Structure 1
Amino acid sequence: MRVGCAGIIALLRKSCFVSISVPRPRPGKPTRVAPLVASSDALAIARWAATLGPIAVFTADAPDSQRLLEEIAWFDPALRVHHLPDWETLPYDAFSPHQDLISERLETLWQLSQGALDVVTIPLTTALYRLAPPEFLAGYTFFFKRGETLDVDRFRQRLAFAGYAHVSQVVSPGEFSFRGGVIDLFPMGSSLPYRLDLFDDTIETIRTFDVDSQRSIYPVQDVRLLPAREFPLDDAAITRFRQNFRASIEGDPSKRRLYKDISNRVAPAGIEYYLPLFFDRTATVFDYLVPGSTLIVHGDAQGAATRFWHDTRARHQLLRGDPDRPLLPPEQLFLSAEQFFIATREHPRIDLHTAETPGAPGAGPHPMQPA
Protein backbone atom coordinates (compact mmCIF):
# COMPACT_ATOMS: atom_id res chain seq x y z
CA MET A 1 0.00 0.00 0.00
CA ARG A 2 1.39 3.38 -0.97
CA VAL A 3 0.90 6.32 1.40
CA GLY A 4 1.39 9.83 0.11
CA CYS A 5 3.26 12.59 1.93
CA ALA A 6 0.01 14.17 3.12
CA GLY A 7 -1.09 10.84 4.55
CA ILE A 8 2.17 10.40 6.45
CA ILE A 9 1.85 13.89 7.93
CA ALA A 10 -1.73 13.17 8.99
CA LEU A 11 -0.64 9.94 10.68
CA LEU A 12 2.14 11.68 12.56
CA ARG A 13 -0.13 14.47 13.73
CA LYS A 14 -2.71 12.01 14.98
CA SER A 15 0.06 10.08 16.79
CA CYS A 16 -1.15 6.71 15.57
CA PHE A 17 2.20 5.20 16.47
CA VAL A 18 2.24 6.07 20.16
CA SER A 19 -0.08 6.89 22.98
CA ILE A 20 1.08 9.37 25.58
CA SER A 21 0.21 9.20 29.24
CA VAL A 22 1.59 10.82 32.36
CA PRO A 23 0.25 10.85 35.93
CA ARG A 24 -1.66 14.08 36.51
CA PRO A 25 0.81 16.33 38.35
CA ARG A 26 -0.08 18.03 41.61
CA PRO A 27 1.19 21.36 43.01
CA GLY A 28 4.25 20.94 45.19
CA LYS A 29 5.09 17.46 43.92
CA PRO A 30 6.74 17.42 40.47
CA THR A 31 6.10 14.49 38.16
CA ARG A 32 9.39 13.28 36.70
CA VAL A 33 9.55 11.96 33.15
CA ALA A 34 12.40 9.85 31.79
CA PRO A 35 14.60 11.23 28.98
CA LEU A 36 12.98 11.95 25.62
CA VAL A 37 14.77 12.18 22.30
CA ALA A 38 14.36 14.11 19.05
CA SER A 39 10.89 15.67 18.73
CA SER A 40 9.11 13.33 21.13
CA ASP A 41 9.15 16.07 23.77
CA ALA A 42 7.12 18.37 21.50
CA LEU A 43 4.69 15.55 20.71
CA ALA A 44 4.25 14.81 24.42
CA ILE A 45 3.61 18.47 25.28
CA ALA A 46 1.11 18.83 22.43
CA ARG A 47 -0.86 15.86 23.75
CA TRP A 48 -0.68 16.98 27.39
CA ALA A 49 -2.02 20.41 26.42
CA ALA A 50 -5.25 18.70 25.34
CA THR A 51 -5.80 17.16 28.78
CA LEU A 52 -3.93 19.25 31.35
CA GLY A 53 -5.09 22.71 30.32
CA PRO A 54 -2.78 25.72 29.81
CA ILE A 55 0.92 24.81 29.85
CA ALA A 56 4.04 26.93 30.38
CA VAL A 57 7.27 25.29 29.23
CA PHE A 58 10.53 26.56 30.75
CA THR A 59 13.53 25.40 28.71
CA ALA A 60 17.06 25.21 30.09
CA ASP A 61 18.43 25.72 26.56
CA ALA A 62 17.07 28.82 24.83
CA PRO A 63 17.03 27.28 21.30
CA ASP A 64 14.73 24.52 22.59
CA SER A 65 12.10 27.15 23.33
CA GLN A 66 11.85 28.21 19.68
CA ARG A 67 12.08 24.61 18.47
CA LEU A 68 9.24 23.50 20.73
CA LEU A 69 7.12 26.45 19.60
CA GLU A 70 7.38 25.30 15.99
CA GLU A 71 7.10 21.56 16.60
CA ILE A 72 4.17 21.73 19.05
CA ALA A 73 2.23 23.85 16.55
CA TRP A 74 3.07 21.30 13.84
CA PHE A 75 1.85 18.32 15.88
CA ASP A 76 -1.40 20.11 16.78
CA PRO A 77 -2.18 23.17 14.63
CA ALA A 78 -5.30 23.89 16.69
CA LEU A 79 -3.25 24.77 19.77
CA ARG A 80 -2.64 28.43 20.53
CA VAL A 81 1.13 28.43 21.05
CA HIS A 82 3.31 31.48 21.73
CA HIS A 83 6.92 32.12 22.65
CA LEU A 84 8.23 34.64 25.20
CA PRO A 85 11.60 35.60 23.71
CA ASP A 86 14.66 36.89 25.49
CA TRP A 87 15.72 40.52 25.04
CA GLU A 88 18.84 39.17 23.27
CA THR A 89 21.01 41.47 25.37
CA LEU A 90 23.37 40.58 28.19
CA PRO A 91 22.54 41.79 31.71
CA TYR A 92 23.45 45.47 32.11
CA ASP A 93 24.09 46.02 28.40
CA ALA A 94 24.00 49.70 27.41
CA PHE A 95 21.74 49.11 24.41
CA SER A 96 18.08 48.19 24.12
CA PRO A 97 16.37 45.16 22.57
CA HIS A 98 15.10 45.33 18.99
CA GLN A 99 11.55 46.63 18.70
CA ASP A 100 10.41 43.38 17.05
CA LEU A 101 11.44 41.46 20.18
CA ILE A 102 9.64 43.90 22.46
CA SER A 103 6.58 43.59 20.21
CA GLU A 104 6.60 39.79 20.46
CA ARG A 105 7.14 39.87 24.22
CA LEU A 106 4.28 42.30 24.83
CA GLU A 107 1.96 40.30 22.58
CA THR A 108 2.76 37.08 24.47
CA LEU A 109 2.37 38.70 27.89
CA TRP A 110 -0.96 40.20 26.83
CA GLN A 111 -2.24 36.86 25.56
CA LEU A 112 -1.09 35.18 28.79
CA SER A 113 -2.84 37.79 30.92
CA GLN A 114 -6.06 37.19 28.97
CA GLY A 115 -5.88 33.40 29.36
CA ALA A 116 -5.78 33.12 25.57
CA LEU A 117 -2.92 30.61 25.17
CA ASP A 118 -2.75 26.82 25.36
CA VAL A 119 1.05 26.63 25.46
CA VAL A 120 3.76 29.22 26.04
CA THR A 121 7.46 28.38 25.66
CA ILE A 122 9.94 30.40 27.73
CA PRO A 123 13.72 30.12 28.04
CA LEU A 124 14.59 29.55 31.70
CA THR A 125 16.83 32.62 31.83
CA THR A 126 14.02 34.78 30.40
CA ALA A 127 11.74 33.56 33.19
CA LEU A 128 14.22 34.88 35.77
CA TYR A 129 13.74 38.50 34.65
CA ARG A 130 11.41 40.62 36.74
CA LEU A 131 8.61 42.14 34.65
CA ALA A 132 6.17 44.99 34.62
CA PRO A 133 3.04 44.04 36.60
CA PRO A 134 0.01 42.84 34.60
CA GLU A 135 -1.91 45.97 35.57
CA PHE A 136 0.60 48.01 33.54
CA LEU A 137 -0.42 46.20 30.36
CA ALA A 138 -4.08 46.46 31.27
CA GLY A 139 -3.82 50.18 31.99
CA TYR A 140 -1.75 51.15 28.96
CA THR A 141 -3.54 49.02 26.34
CA PHE A 142 -6.50 50.56 24.57
CA PHE A 143 -8.85 49.73 21.72
CA PHE A 144 -10.62 51.73 19.06
CA LYS A 145 -12.99 50.76 16.28
CA ARG A 146 -14.52 52.03 13.08
CA GLY A 147 -17.25 54.60 13.63
CA GLU A 148 -15.87 55.87 16.94
CA THR A 149 -15.19 59.52 17.64
CA LEU A 150 -11.47 60.21 18.06
CA ASP A 151 -9.94 63.17 19.87
CA VAL A 152 -6.87 63.51 17.66
CA ASP A 153 -4.81 65.64 20.06
CA ARG A 154 -5.49 63.32 22.98
CA PHE A 155 -4.81 60.29 20.79
CA ARG A 156 -1.44 61.73 19.74
CA GLN A 157 -0.59 62.32 23.40
CA ARG A 158 -1.59 58.79 24.38
CA LEU A 159 0.62 57.36 21.64
CA ALA A 160 3.57 59.40 22.89
CA PHE A 161 2.99 58.37 26.52
CA ALA A 162 2.72 54.73 25.40
CA GLY A 163 6.19 55.01 23.86
CA TYR A 164 5.27 55.21 20.17
CA ALA A 165 7.64 57.15 17.92
CA HIS A 166 6.38 59.81 15.52
CA VAL A 167 7.92 59.20 12.07
CA SER A 168 7.38 60.39 8.51
CA GLN A 169 6.71 56.85 7.22
CA VAL A 170 5.61 53.89 9.35
CA VAL A 171 7.65 50.73 8.78
CA SER A 172 8.22 49.10 12.21
CA PRO A 173 6.24 48.22 15.35
CA GLY A 174 5.94 51.14 17.74
CA GLU A 175 5.70 53.88 15.09
CA PHE A 176 2.93 56.29 14.01
CA SER A 177 2.42 59.21 11.65
CA PHE A 178 -0.25 61.86 11.03
CA ARG A 179 -0.99 63.16 7.54
CA GLY A 180 -4.04 65.38 7.54
CA GLY A 181 -7.03 63.11 8.09
CA VAL A 182 -4.96 59.92 7.85
CA ILE A 183 -3.23 58.20 10.78
CA ASP A 184 -0.78 55.37 10.18
CA LEU A 185 0.30 53.27 13.13
CA PHE A 186 2.06 49.98 13.75
CA PRO A 187 0.81 48.51 17.04
CA MET A 188 3.16 46.38 19.11
CA GLY A 189 2.24 42.72 18.82
CA SER A 190 0.72 43.19 15.36
CA SER A 191 2.07 41.63 12.17
CA LEU A 192 0.79 44.51 10.03
CA PRO A 193 0.35 48.28 10.46
CA TYR A 194 -3.02 50.05 10.22
CA ARG A 195 -4.26 53.14 8.41
CA LEU A 196 -7.10 55.16 9.93
CA ASP A 197 -9.07 57.48 7.65
CA LEU A 198 -10.92 60.19 9.56
CA PHE A 199 -14.00 62.13 8.55
CA ASP A 200 -13.83 65.18 10.83
CA ASP A 201 -13.30 63.45 14.20
CA THR A 202 -14.86 60.09 13.29
CA ILE A 203 -12.90 56.96 12.30
CA GLU A 204 -14.43 56.29 8.89
CA THR A 205 -12.29 53.29 7.87
CA ILE A 206 -9.47 51.16 9.28
CA ARG A 207 -7.29 49.19 6.87
CA THR A 208 -4.08 47.24 7.10
CA PHE A 209 -1.31 48.30 4.74
CA ASP A 210 1.97 47.01 3.35
CA VAL A 211 5.09 48.70 4.76
CA ASP A 212 7.01 48.39 1.47
CA SER A 213 4.43 49.65 -1.00
CA GLN A 214 2.45 51.65 1.62
CA ARG A 215 -0.72 50.41 -0.14
CA SER A 216 -3.83 49.47 1.81
CA ILE A 217 -4.63 45.75 1.98
CA TYR A 218 -7.91 44.88 3.70
CA PRO A 219 -10.39 46.56 6.07
CA VAL A 220 -10.76 45.70 9.76
CA GLN A 221 -13.32 46.76 12.33
CA ASP A 222 -11.11 47.46 15.35
CA VAL A 223 -7.51 47.70 16.55
CA ARG A 224 -5.79 46.85 19.84
CA LEU A 225 -2.92 49.12 20.81
CA LEU A 226 -0.36 47.70 23.25
CA PRO A 227 2.26 49.99 24.83
CA ALA A 228 5.49 50.35 22.85
CA ARG A 229 7.72 49.67 25.85
CA GLU A 230 7.70 47.35 28.84
CA PHE A 231 7.56 50.35 31.18
CA PRO A 232 5.60 53.63 31.27
CA LEU A 233 7.07 57.07 30.66
CA ASP A 234 4.23 59.39 31.62
CA ASP A 235 4.39 62.01 34.39
CA ALA A 236 3.48 59.58 37.16
CA ALA A 237 6.07 57.04 36.00
CA ILE A 238 8.80 59.67 35.78
CA THR A 239 8.02 60.83 39.32
CA ARG A 240 8.13 57.24 40.54
CA PHE A 241 11.43 56.62 38.73
CA ARG A 242 13.01 59.69 40.32
CA GLN A 243 11.86 58.68 43.80
CA ASN A 244 13.06 55.10 43.41
CA PHE A 245 16.35 56.22 41.87
CA ARG A 246 17.12 58.44 44.87
CA ALA A 247 16.18 55.62 47.25
CA SER A 248 18.21 52.97 45.44
CA ILE A 249 21.35 54.75 44.22
CA GLU A 250 23.79 56.77 46.28
CA GLY A 251 25.08 60.19 45.30
CA ASP A 252 23.62 63.34 43.79
CA PRO A 253 21.03 62.21 41.18
CA SER A 254 21.15 65.56 39.39
CA LYS A 255 24.68 64.68 38.26
CA ARG A 256 23.62 61.36 36.74
CA ARG A 257 22.94 61.41 33.00
CA LEU A 258 20.40 58.59 33.32
CA TYR A 259 18.40 60.52 35.92
CA LYS A 260 18.41 63.66 33.79
CA ASP A 261 17.39 61.78 30.64
CA ILE A 262 14.34 60.20 32.26
CA SER A 263 13.42 63.53 33.87
CA ASN A 264 13.36 64.96 30.34
CA ARG A 265 11.23 62.05 29.09
CA VAL A 266 14.11 60.51 27.14
CA ALA A 267 14.51 56.73 27.36
CA PRO A 268 18.25 56.04 26.89
CA ALA A 269 19.62 52.81 25.45
CA GLY A 270 19.75 50.06 28.05
CA ILE A 271 16.98 51.57 30.19
CA GLU A 272 15.37 48.11 30.42
CA TYR A 273 17.86 47.22 33.16
CA TYR A 274 16.31 49.94 35.34
CA LEU A 275 12.75 48.68 34.84
CA PRO A 276 12.02 48.19 38.60
CA LEU A 277 12.46 51.94 39.18
CA PHE A 278 9.33 52.69 37.11
CA PHE A 279 7.02 50.67 39.37
CA ASP A 280 6.04 50.34 43.00
CA ARG A 281 6.49 46.60 42.56
CA THR A 282 7.61 44.29 39.81
CA ALA A 283 6.02 41.02 38.72
CA THR A 284 7.29 37.70 37.42
CA VAL A 285 6.07 35.53 34.58
CA PHE A 286 4.10 33.52 37.15
CA ASP A 287 1.87 36.56 37.73
CA TYR A 288 0.76 36.32 34.08
CA LEU A 289 -0.15 32.62 34.12
CA VAL A 290 -3.71 31.34 34.47
CA PRO A 291 -4.17 29.85 37.97
CA GLY A 292 -3.67 26.09 37.81
CA SER A 293 -1.52 26.23 34.67
CA THR A 294 0.73 23.19 34.33
CA LEU A 295 4.45 23.95 34.29
CA ILE A 296 6.94 21.87 32.33
CA VAL A 297 10.58 22.28 33.33
CA HIS A 298 12.54 21.12 30.30
CA GLY A 299 16.17 20.07 30.67
CA ASP A 300 18.71 21.09 33.33
CA ALA A 301 16.94 24.21 34.63
CA GLN A 302 18.94 24.30 37.85
CA GLY A 303 22.20 24.29 35.91
CA ALA A 304 20.98 27.02 33.54
CA ALA A 305 19.94 29.25 36.45
CA THR A 306 23.25 28.71 38.24
CA ARG A 307 25.25 29.63 35.14
CA PHE A 308 23.07 32.70 34.53
CA TRP A 309 23.64 33.99 38.05
CA HIS A 310 27.38 33.34 37.89
CA ASP A 311 27.66 35.33 34.66
CA THR A 312 25.33 38.10 35.85
CA ARG A 313 27.27 38.68 39.07
CA ALA A 314 30.50 38.79 37.08
CA ARG A 315 29.08 41.42 34.70
CA HIS A 316 27.73 43.47 37.60
CA GLN A 317 31.16 43.46 39.22
CA LEU A 318 32.84 44.40 35.93
CA LEU A 319 30.50 47.28 34.96
CA ARG A 320 29.50 48.80 38.27
CA GLY A 321 32.14 51.56 38.22
CA ASP A 322 30.57 53.79 35.53
CA PRO A 323 29.27 56.93 37.32
CA ASP A 324 26.87 57.74 34.45
CA ARG A 325 25.30 54.25 34.63
CA PRO A 326 25.05 53.20 38.27
CA LEU A 327 23.80 49.61 38.27
CA LEU A 328 20.96 48.06 40.21
CA PRO A 329 21.92 44.94 42.17
CA PRO A 330 21.09 41.67 40.39
CA GLU A 331 18.60 40.76 43.13
CA GLN A 332 16.47 43.75 42.13
CA LEU A 333 16.31 42.66 38.49
CA PHE A 334 16.22 38.86 38.52
CA LEU A 335 14.76 35.92 40.40
CA SER A 336 17.23 33.57 42.03
CA ALA A 337 17.06 29.87 41.20
CA GLU A 338 15.56 29.27 44.63
CA GLN A 339 12.85 31.92 44.11
CA PHE A 340 12.01 30.45 40.71
CA PHE A 341 11.57 26.91 41.99
CA ILE A 342 9.61 28.09 45.05
CA ALA A 343 7.19 29.86 42.68
CA THR A 344 6.69 26.63 40.71
CA ARG A 345 5.28 24.93 43.82
CA GLU A 346 1.99 26.76 43.33
CA HIS A 347 1.38 24.92 40.05
CA PRO A 348 1.24 21.32 38.84
CA ARG A 349 4.71 20.60 37.44
CA ILE A 350 6.32 18.06 35.12
CA ASP A 351 10.11 17.75 34.99
CA LEU A 352 10.74 16.78 31.39
CA HIS A 353 14.28 15.51 30.98
CA THR A 354 16.09 15.34 27.68
CA ALA A 355 18.70 12.77 26.74
CA GLU A 356 21.41 15.36 27.48
CA THR A 357 20.09 16.40 30.92
CA PRO A 358 22.77 15.73 33.56
CA GLY A 359 21.47 13.27 36.14
CA ALA A 360 18.31 12.52 34.17
CA PRO A 361 16.60 9.36 35.35
CA GLY A 362 17.38 6.45 33.08
CA ALA A 363 14.54 4.24 34.16
CA GLY A 364 10.99 4.54 35.31
CA PRO A 365 7.65 5.26 33.65
CA HIS A 366 8.11 6.61 30.17
CA PRO A 367 5.39 8.78 28.61
CA MET A 368 5.83 7.24 25.17
CA GLN A 369 4.42 3.75 25.06
CA PRO A 370 3.29 1.58 22.12
CA ALA A 371 -0.31 2.10 21.16
Structure 2
Amino acid sequence: MSLKTRYELPARAADTRQLGEMTGAACAVETASIIEQHDGPVILVTRDMQNALRLRDEIRQFTALPAETLADWETLPYDSFSPHQEIISNRLSTLYRLPTLEKGALILPVNTLMQKVCPPEFLTSHALVMAKGEKLSRDKLREELVQGGYRSVEQVLEHGEFAIRGALLDLFPMGSELPFRIDFFDDEIDSLRTFDVDTQRTLDEVNAINLLPAHEFPTDKDAIE
Protein backbone atom coordinates (compact mmCIF):
# COMPACT_ATOMS: atom_id res chain seq x y z
CA MET A 1 0.00 0.00 0.00
CA SER A 2 1.44 3.31 -1.02
CA LEU A 3 1.60 6.25 1.35
CA LYS A 4 -0.05 9.50 0.32
CA THR A 5 2.04 12.64 0.39
CA ARG A 6 0.73 14.94 3.11
CA TYR A 7 3.01 17.90 2.52
CA GLU A 8 4.28 19.24 -0.75
CA LEU A 9 6.70 22.04 -1.49
CA PRO A 10 4.99 25.02 -3.11
CA ALA A 11 5.65 25.72 -6.75
CA ARG A 12 8.43 28.18 -7.41
CA ALA A 13 6.93 31.66 -7.58
CA ALA A 14 9.73 33.22 -9.62
CA ASP A 15 13.11 32.62 -11.12
CA THR A 16 16.01 32.21 -8.71
CA ARG A 17 18.67 34.88 -8.65
CA GLN A 18 21.97 34.41 -6.87
CA LEU A 19 24.08 37.41 -6.01
CA GLY A 20 27.56 37.13 -4.56
CA GLU A 21 30.87 38.85 -3.93
CA MET A 22 29.19 42.13 -3.07
CA THR A 23 31.12 44.27 -0.61
CA GLY A 24 30.31 47.47 1.22
CA ALA A 25 27.00 49.00 0.22
CA ALA A 26 26.69 46.92 -2.97
CA CYS A 27 24.17 44.59 -1.32
CA ALA A 28 21.97 47.50 -0.27
CA VAL A 29 22.16 49.09 -3.74
CA GLU A 30 21.11 45.87 -5.48
CA THR A 31 18.41 45.16 -2.90
CA ALA A 32 16.97 48.65 -3.27
CA SER A 33 16.82 48.11 -7.03
CA ILE A 34 14.94 44.83 -6.57
CA ILE A 35 12.47 46.48 -4.17
CA GLU A 36 11.72 49.26 -6.67
CA GLN A 37 11.28 46.84 -9.58
CA HIS A 38 9.09 44.33 -7.73
CA ASP A 39 5.34 44.88 -7.83
CA GLY A 40 4.54 44.39 -4.15
CA PRO A 41 6.36 44.08 -0.80
CA VAL A 42 9.64 42.18 -0.53
CA ILE A 43 10.70 40.10 2.48
CA LEU A 44 14.41 40.09 3.30
CA VAL A 45 15.79 37.53 5.75
CA THR A 46 19.06 38.17 7.59
CA ARG A 47 21.25 36.16 9.93
CA ASP A 48 20.44 38.25 13.00
CA MET A 49 18.81 41.49 14.13
CA GLN A 50 22.03 43.47 13.95
CA ASN A 51 22.36 42.69 10.24
CA ALA A 52 18.66 43.46 9.70
CA LEU A 53 19.04 46.94 11.20
CA ARG A 54 22.23 47.61 9.24
CA LEU A 55 20.62 46.52 5.96
CA ARG A 56 17.52 48.61 6.67
CA ASP A 57 19.57 51.76 7.28
CA GLU A 58 21.63 51.19 4.13
CA ILE A 59 18.59 50.48 1.93
CA ARG A 60 16.97 53.73 3.08
CA GLN A 61 19.93 55.59 1.58
CA PHE A 62 19.10 54.30 -1.92
CA THR A 63 15.30 54.26 -2.11
CA ALA A 64 12.42 56.33 -0.80
CA LEU A 65 10.23 53.23 -0.48
CA PRO A 66 9.57 52.06 3.09
CA ALA A 67 11.97 49.56 4.64
CA GLU A 68 10.70 48.14 7.93
CA THR A 69 12.16 45.64 10.39
CA LEU A 70 10.35 43.14 12.59
CA ALA A 71 12.41 42.76 15.74
CA ASP A 72 13.36 39.47 17.33
CA TRP A 73 12.03 38.85 20.85
CA GLU A 74 15.64 38.50 22.13
CA THR A 75 14.52 35.88 24.65
CA LEU A 76 15.05 32.14 24.77
CA PRO A 77 12.30 29.53 25.14
CA TYR A 78 11.17 29.13 28.77
CA ASP A 79 12.97 32.30 29.89
CA SER A 80 11.57 33.67 33.14
CA PHE A 81 11.57 37.29 31.92
CA SER A 82 9.60 39.11 29.25
CA PRO A 83 11.00 40.95 26.22
CA HIS A 84 11.83 44.63 26.66
CA GLN A 85 8.88 46.97 26.21
CA GLU A 86 10.61 48.83 23.38
CA ILE A 87 10.91 45.58 21.41
CA ILE A 88 7.22 44.84 21.92
CA SER A 89 6.37 48.40 20.86
CA ASN A 90 8.44 48.18 17.68
CA ARG A 91 6.91 44.83 16.73
CA LEU A 92 3.36 46.06 17.29
CA SER A 93 4.01 49.20 15.25
CA THR A 94 5.40 47.20 12.33
CA LEU A 95 2.65 44.58 12.43
CA TYR A 96 -0.02 47.29 12.54
CA ARG A 97 1.37 49.02 9.44
CA LEU A 98 2.21 45.83 7.54
CA PRO A 99 -1.24 45.27 5.91
CA THR A 100 -0.93 48.69 4.23
CA LEU A 101 2.60 48.03 2.90
CA GLU A 102 1.83 47.81 -0.82
CA LYS A 103 5.43 48.29 -1.94
CA GLY A 104 8.67 48.25 0.03
CA ALA A 105 10.62 45.83 2.20
CA LEU A 106 10.15 43.94 5.44
CA ILE A 107 13.51 42.92 6.89
CA LEU A 108 13.69 40.34 9.65
CA PRO A 109 16.17 37.85 11.13
CA VAL A 110 15.66 34.15 10.48
CA ASN A 111 14.59 33.53 14.11
CA THR A 112 11.75 36.02 13.74
CA LEU A 113 10.65 34.40 10.48
CA MET A 114 10.05 31.14 12.37
CA GLN A 115 7.77 32.71 15.00
CA LYS A 116 4.01 33.06 14.89
CA VAL A 117 2.48 36.53 14.84
CA CYS A 118 -0.97 37.84 15.59
CA PRO A 119 -3.66 37.95 12.88
CA PRO A 120 -3.92 41.41 11.26
CA GLU A 121 -7.53 41.84 12.34
CA PHE A 122 -6.56 41.63 16.03
CA LEU A 123 -4.55 44.87 15.96
CA THR A 124 -6.93 46.75 13.67
CA SER A 125 -9.97 45.81 15.74
CA HIS A 126 -8.32 46.65 19.08
CA ALA A 127 -6.70 49.96 18.05
CA LEU A 128 -8.28 53.06 19.58
CA VAL A 129 -8.12 56.62 18.26
CA MET A 130 -8.31 59.36 20.90
CA ALA A 131 -9.03 62.85 19.57
CA LYS A 132 -9.26 66.32 21.06
CA GLY A 133 -12.85 67.20 21.93
CA GLU A 134 -13.93 63.56 22.20
CA LYS A 135 -16.09 62.57 25.16
CA LEU A 136 -14.62 59.60 26.99
CA SER A 137 -15.21 58.23 30.48
CA ARG A 138 -11.92 58.13 32.37
CA ASP A 139 -13.05 55.10 34.39
CA LYS A 140 -13.95 53.23 31.22
CA LEU A 141 -10.67 54.27 29.58
CA ARG A 142 -8.69 53.02 32.57
CA GLU A 143 -10.50 49.68 32.35
CA GLU A 144 -9.80 49.41 28.62
CA LEU A 145 -6.12 50.23 29.15
CA VAL A 146 -5.73 47.49 31.75
CA GLN A 147 -7.57 45.00 29.55
CA GLY A 148 -5.29 45.96 26.67
CA GLY A 149 -2.18 45.12 28.69
CA TYR A 150 -1.15 48.61 29.85
CA ARG A 151 0.28 49.01 33.37
CA SER A 152 -0.78 51.65 35.88
CA VAL A 153 2.29 53.37 37.39
CA GLU A 154 3.18 56.44 39.43
CA GLN A 155 5.29 57.98 36.65
CA VAL A 156 5.29 57.02 32.98
CA LEU A 157 8.76 56.08 31.76
CA GLU A 158 8.39 53.44 29.05
CA HIS A 159 5.99 51.99 26.50
CA GLY A 160 2.86 50.33 27.83
CA GLU A 161 2.50 52.50 30.95
CA PHE A 162 -0.13 55.01 32.06
CA ALA A 163 -0.67 57.22 35.11
CA ILE A 164 -3.79 59.08 36.20
CA ARG A 165 -3.50 62.20 38.35
CA GLY A 166 -6.79 64.01 38.72
CA ALA A 167 -7.82 65.33 35.31
CA LEU A 168 -4.49 64.38 33.72
CA LEU A 169 -3.68 61.07 32.03
CA ASP A 170 -0.08 60.29 31.09
CA LEU A 171 0.12 57.53 28.52
CA PHE A 172 2.93 55.92 26.50
CA PRO A 173 1.19 54.08 23.62
CA MET A 174 2.81 51.12 21.93
CA GLY A 175 4.33 52.14 18.60
CA SER A 176 4.69 55.81 19.59
CA GLU A 177 8.02 57.60 19.75
CA LEU A 178 6.87 59.86 22.60
CA PRO A 179 4.38 59.60 25.47
CA PHE A 180 1.30 61.81 25.70
CA ARG A 181 -0.28 63.92 28.42
CA ILE A 182 -4.06 64.07 28.07
CA ASP A 183 -5.96 66.80 29.90
CA PHE A 184 -9.64 66.12 30.58
CA PHE A 185 -12.42 68.60 31.27
CA ASP A 186 -15.03 66.41 32.93
CA ASP A 187 -15.29 63.53 30.41
CA GLU A 188 -14.08 65.53 27.41
CA ILE A 189 -10.50 65.50 26.09
CA ASP A 190 -9.43 69.13 26.39
CA SER A 191 -5.86 68.79 25.07
CA LEU A 192 -3.32 66.22 23.88
CA ARG A 193 0.39 66.93 24.23
CA THR A 194 3.59 64.95 23.91
CA PHE A 195 6.01 65.13 26.84
CA ASP A 196 9.62 64.33 27.62
CA VAL A 197 10.19 61.21 29.73
CA ASP A 198 13.27 62.61 31.48
CA THR A 199 11.99 66.08 32.37
CA GLN A 200 8.26 65.19 32.35
CA ARG A 201 7.65 68.53 30.63
CA THR A 202 5.08 68.83 27.85
CA LEU A 203 6.26 69.44 24.28
CA ASP A 204 3.95 69.73 21.27
CA GLU A 205 0.18 69.67 21.04
CA VAL A 206 -1.49 67.11 18.76
CA ASN A 207 -5.08 66.60 17.63
CA ALA A 208 -5.30 62.80 17.96
CA ILE A 209 -3.32 59.72 18.97
CA ASN A 210 -3.50 56.09 17.89
CA LEU A 211 -3.59 53.65 20.79
CA LEU A 212 -2.47 50.08 20.03
CA PRO A 213 -2.91 47.16 22.45
CA ALA A 214 0.12 46.33 24.59
CA HIS A 215 0.16 42.66 23.54
CA GLU A 216 0.35 40.91 20.19
CA PHE A 217 -2.28 38.40 21.22
CA PRO A 218 -5.49 38.72 23.24
CA THR A 219 -5.08 37.69 26.88
CA ASP A 220 -8.71 37.49 27.96
CA LYS A 221 -10.37 34.28 29.14
CA ASP A 222 -11.92 33.42 25.77
CA ALA A 223 -8.60 33.78 23.94
CA ILE A 224 -6.74 31.61 26.47
CA GLU A 225 -9.35 28.87 26.16
- Scaled by the length of structure 1, what TM-score is found? 0.55
- Percent identical among aligned pairs is 42
- In structure 2, what is the equivalent of residue 57 of structure 1? 44
2:106 maps to which residue?
A: 120
Deviating 4+ runs (over 6 angstroms): none
Q: CA deviation at 1:183?
A: 0.7
Over the residues paired in the alignment, what is the CA RMSD in angstroms? 1.8
Give the corresponding residue for 2:61: 74
SS of 1:106's partner is helix
Residue 211 (structure 1) aligns with:
197
User: CA offsets per residue over residues 213-239 of structure 1, 9 Å max, x none?
Assistant: 111100111100111112222xxx324
Measure the CA separation in 1 of the matches of 2:193 and 2:99. Answer: 27
Kindly indicate whether structure 1 or structure 2 has the higher relative contact order, using CA contacts under 8 Å at least 6 residues apart.
Answer: 1
Separation in 2 of the partners of 1:218 and 1:106?
24
Q: Secondary structure at the match of 2:116?
A: coil
**Larger helix percent:** 1
Secondary structure, counterpart of 1:189 in structure 2: coil
**Residue identity in the other structure for 2:19:** A
> TM-score by structure 2 length?
0.88
- Return the alpha-carbon distance in structure 1 between the equivalents of residues 48 and 178 of structure 2: 31
Q: d(CA) in 1 for partners of 2:23 and 2:102?
A: 30
Partner of 1:174: 160
Q: Looking at CA atoms only, which structure, 1 or 2, has the larger radius of gyration? A: 1
What is the letter of the counterpart of residue 45 of structure 2? Answer: F
Query: 128, 150, 154: which is aligned to 2:140?
Result: 154
* Aligned residue number for residue 172 of structure 2: 186
Q: Which runs of 5 or more residues in structure 2 are unaligned? A: 1-10
Residues 66-105 of structure 1 mapped to structure 2, 5 A cutoff: 66-76=53-63, 78-105=64-91
Of 17, 22, 26 in structure 2, the residue corresponding to residue 32 of structure 1 is: 17
Q: What does residue 221 of structure 2 align with?
A: 238
Cα distance change of structure 1 residues 111 and 199 upon mapping to structure 2, 3 Å threshold: same
Tell me by how many angstroms 1:47 deviates. Answer: 2.2
Aligned AA (1:185): L
Paired residues, number: 213
> What are the ranges of 5 or more consecutive residues in structure 1 without an aligned counterpart?
1-25, 244-371
Residue 92 of structure 1, CA deviation: 2.5
In the alignment, the residues of structure 2 paired with residue 50 and residue 187 of structure 1 have an alpha-carbon distance, to the nearest angstrom, of 32
